[in-house]
Structure 1
């Protein structure tokens, strides 16, 4: 993405947006194929340049594809990821703003080329302002308020419209959920020599998760940000209510069970959230949504959280082994702790028995 041709495309795009004289400062990269720059216009306005080459990833899922076709097309199709498409970001952003939530405005967009200029929410990521001494409780409760706003909007449209065109909002279905869980059995043995899963173990793995993935698909009735945590939320205290939570990195949004973003926030892979804060945040969520059956909801919360933690352990193992990014190993003990706790919850007996059979205690920490 840093080739001379790509830089020429960026310059042409910035010129068309009237930003050819803006100062440009690249931001550090993450595990994705996107890159960002902070732009400072000649009048002092701060903006962001999003740069995502569509061809850098396998194609996103066509809504008409069967599970078999999705598996043949690649990981993005299986998991129903957007492949980083800028038009997905634009469509989800428009939907969120329409609900009174804070997603960046896009003053300039070239979706076919994968370039966009975004409103700059600043650097006050929840994780950073908490590290700097901000009381975390009001931030997390505001994040709950924003989720409630999203969830009370009900079943979202099947197709979202945005400045870059229409984008399908697909269901985070059993195929996608199981595909995520399967990253664990694929990649953990490549990281931990003590682990080995034969065909029988993998068949038992899929069978153990089947009730949880089925419930996740059946309960997919809200839009899920899908990566809702303290590194993707920006504190905007000058705004009011749910709008104080600036959302980014939501281009992979799907229709999912409402517990998905909750456990992403409260059982974070990258920072510790105390059990007391998790309980307080969940109490707030259910107080704002009294129509829910809390006990039934929490079965799905624990089941899908456990599945997500297995998925993330697989992703981190892949990042360490395949992508030579050893820093992600440091996050794995936290994920193991969350997973071990969730495996004790009702409805996870079969999954817990699988782990007891195939994953020694010394490998689960």
Structure 2
């Protein structure tokens, strides 16, 4: 890893006449993939963000292609200054550290910024999809299977309920039946930056041709406590109306759209429960375990009132949640004692 960081430093230095003394890099963040991000300080308050994406692990071509296409369609994404796909290095515009999530905690800013995020999401949904992979039934099924594989079996060591295959197939069918649009796929408040009084979109390399409600769900039901129902209902209806005005949908009623949102939220949250356990167990990123209870609540919000999921939700509330709570308590105790 040190050798790769040195290579990144020298690569960045070569673009700014700093070869004689390659600059130190400030760690910005890593994410749920194998990408890492660093800040390059150039003096005079100028800086750039460097992406380190090992080419054997990450496909940076998608990032570059989507950045250029979306920018040409007016989406605020960071400008790319230097790209080396062979090494997996990208130098891009520094948007700062001011995430939308930080602003949503302030009631005086929340509504205005949420409506901006909703408008951006609708604009993305209307973008061309001809070069994007299809978020199809096989892909959605594989994602859902992360839940029994990693959360139930590997993390909790409990049996998968008999109702699981039916639940999985119902959710996949519900998502593939939606109108299929351009989907960012990680459109949450950590991937929306507040910069120059505008919202900017990052981490878009996973964009797909997928379910209509997916990005809205990512925005409303991610790493934050559930919003009040009145807030969610208002934002869901605002998204639907903006999508109708943009010609993305024509005849989807509010009740039908709300069902799309709830079932999409359940699929995404069950996937995340498995994904975060995999990140902790396989990739040594245990911090993701602390987020599991949030997605438990998102599953409840999506499925509790939905017909056809009664047996699964009974198991979820009476078996899964107590086992998860006990395991998390034990995990925190073990970490404290060590």
- Give the TM-score of the pair, scaled to structure 1: 0.78
Q: Deviations over 1:247-293 (max 9, x none)?
A: 11111111111200101110113454332322221122122233341
Q: Matched residue of 1:350: which SS?
A: coil
Q: Determine the structure 2 residue equivalent to 1:208.
A: 167
- Tell me the distance in 1 between the aligned counterparts of 2:218 and 2:189: 9
After superposition, residues 273-352 of structure 1 pair within 5 angstroms as 273-290=227-244, 291-293=250-252, 294-346=254-306, 349-352=307-310
Structure 1 position 10, deviation (Å): 1.8
Q: Retained in 2: the 8 A contact 1:13–1:110?
A: no
CA distance in 1, matches of 2:178, 2:218: 17
- Report the equivalent of 1:10: 8
CA positional deviation for 1:38: 0.7
Q: Between 296-305 and 99-108, report the one with greater CA deviation.
A: 296-305
Cα distance in 2 for partners of 1:319, 1:11 equals 27
Structure 1, gaps ≥5 residues long: 58-83, 160-168, 239-243
In structure 2, do the counterparts of structure 1 residues 257 and 206 end up closer, same or farther at CA, with 3 Å as the change threshold? Answer: same
Structure 2 runs not aligned, ≥5 long = 245-249, 326-338
Q: How do 1:81-92 residues align onto structure 2 when only pairs under 5 Å count?
A: 84-92=58-66
> Structure 1 CA distance, aligned partners of 2:282 and 2:83?
34
What is aligned with 2:34? Answer: 33
- Supply the distance in 1 between the matched residues of 2:225 and 2:52 (Cα, whole angstroms): 27
Counterpart-to-counterpart distance in 1, 2:109 and 2:243: 25
When the two chains are superposed, the root-mean-square deviation of aligned CA atoms in Å is 2.5
Counterpart of 1:230?
189
What is the CA-CA distance between 1:96 and the residue it aligns to?
Answer: 1.7
State the partner residue of 2:55.
54
> What is the aligned partner in structure 2 of residue 24 from structure 1?
25
> Hey, what's the Cα distance between the residues in 1 that align with 2:26 and 2:221?
33
Alpha-carbon contact 2:174-2:263 (below 8 Å) kept:
no
Task: Judge conservation of contact 1:212–1:300 (CA < 8 Å) in 2.
Answer: no
Distance 1:351 1:283, change over 3 A: same
- How many aligned residue pairs are there? 313
Displacement of 1:15 in angstroms is 3.7
Give the Å deviation of 1:299. Answer: 2.2
Matched, 1:101 2:99: no
2:273–2:292 contact (8 Å) kept in structure 1? yes
CA–CA distance in 2 between the matches of 1:129 and 1:208? 36
User: CA separation in 2, counterparts of 1:170 and 1:108?
Assistant: 26
Q: Does 1:147 align with 2:145?
A: no
The answer to whether the 8 A contact 2:226-2:298 is kept is: no
Q: Which of 130, 143, 154 does residue 158 from structure 1 map onto? A: 130
- 2:135 corresponds to which residue? 172
Q: Distance in 2 between matches of 1:307 and 1:19?
A: 49
